[in-house]
Amino acid sequence: MKTIPDFQKWKVARTPITMVTCYDAATSKILNETSVDALLVGDSCAMVVHGYDSTIHATVEMMAAHTAATRRGAPDKVIVADMPFLSYRGSVDASTQAVSELMRAGANAVKLERSKGNCELISRLVEAGIPVMGHLGLTPQSVHEFGGFKMQARTDDAAQILLEEALELEEAGCFSIVLECIPGHVAESVTDALAIPTIGIGCGPGTSGQVLVINDLLGLDSRFQPPFARRYMDADQMIVRSIEGYCEDVRELEYPGEGEYKP
Ligand code: KIV
């Protein structure tokens, strides 16, 4: 069984780390049978599961429910749970309460966005034995500051600031950092400068591993395809075909058939 300390071993051994998002027990039960290294209960669930237009709508209650469901299906996997919007920016007590709900729901670690104003909390959590994953670059909870879901760290100055933030997160005790939508050369130089691993999304191959939103990987919404996401199946079309097959069978009195009921 893989554990949080393995992340450091993977970085040292240059073993690429694999991570996908997961939000429910049905999916995590399947993922539990795969070799994927870790599951991220991302606050992207506010968008891809609940249909909101940003992650700002995720709450601690929502994240705890999705974390608990994911854990029930995947007892063997490392699970990282996202701290939702503003849940770590109030008092230490309130932030600790939010962390406690996610850890009790079954997370092995929590992830939070940006470094400024977070390092003291991160150090406290790490001191308390709670592994913390950082997240820099396109941090979706700051979508309004960025003016949309746009690539970050595009200038030398911005890349330098991002590097400094990554070093701050490492110093505060993060065991890993997600880098989202920054240029490949920036992601690579940040990865080289850190002792801890980076997990990239939309930043090319120069990170210590990759994470994808499972809906993008499976093609659950073919109308929405981030340019960096590789789709491994067209699940939405397969679902449409299956449902149409079922409807046709019911209408043609083909279902239920012999062996599918007791006469
Ligand atoms: O919420 C999420 O799915 C994430 C990944 C995109 C890294 O934070």
3-state secondary structure the chain: CCCCCHHHHHHHHCCCEEEEECCCHHHHHHHCCCCCCEEEECCCHHHHCCCCCCHHHCCHHHHHHHHHHHHHHCCCCEEEEECCCCCCCCCHHHHHHHHHHHHHCCCCEEECCCCCCCHHHHHHHHHCCCCEEEEEECCHHHHHHHCCCCCCCCCHHHHHHHHHHHHHHHHHCCCEEEEECCCHHHHHHHHHHCCCCEEEECCCCCCCEEEECHHHHHCCCCCCCCCCCCCCCCHHHHHHHHHHHHHHHHHCCCCCCCCCCCC
Q: Find the catalytic residue in 101, 113, 165, 180.
A: 180
Query: Per-residue confidence of the chain (263 residues) as pLDDT tens digits?
Result: 999 999 999 999 999 999 999 999 999 999 999 999 999 999 999 999 999 999 999 999 999 999 999 999 999 999 999 999 999 999 999 999 999 999 999 999 999 999 999 999 999 999 999 999 999 999 999 999 999 999 999 999 999 999 999 999 999 999 999 999 999 999 999 999 999 999 999 999 999 999 999 999 999 998 888 999 999 999 999 999 999 999 999 999 999 999 999 99
* pTM, rounded to two decimals: 0.97
Given ligand 1 and candidates 201, 212, 214, 218, which is best to mutate, with the most ligand atoms within 8 Å of its CB? 201
Ligand 1 atom closest to 113 (CA) = 8
Per-residue pLDDT reduced to its tens digit, 12-21: 999 999 999 9
Domain boundaries along the sequence of the chain: 5-232, 235-263
CATH dotted code for 5-232: 3.20.20.60
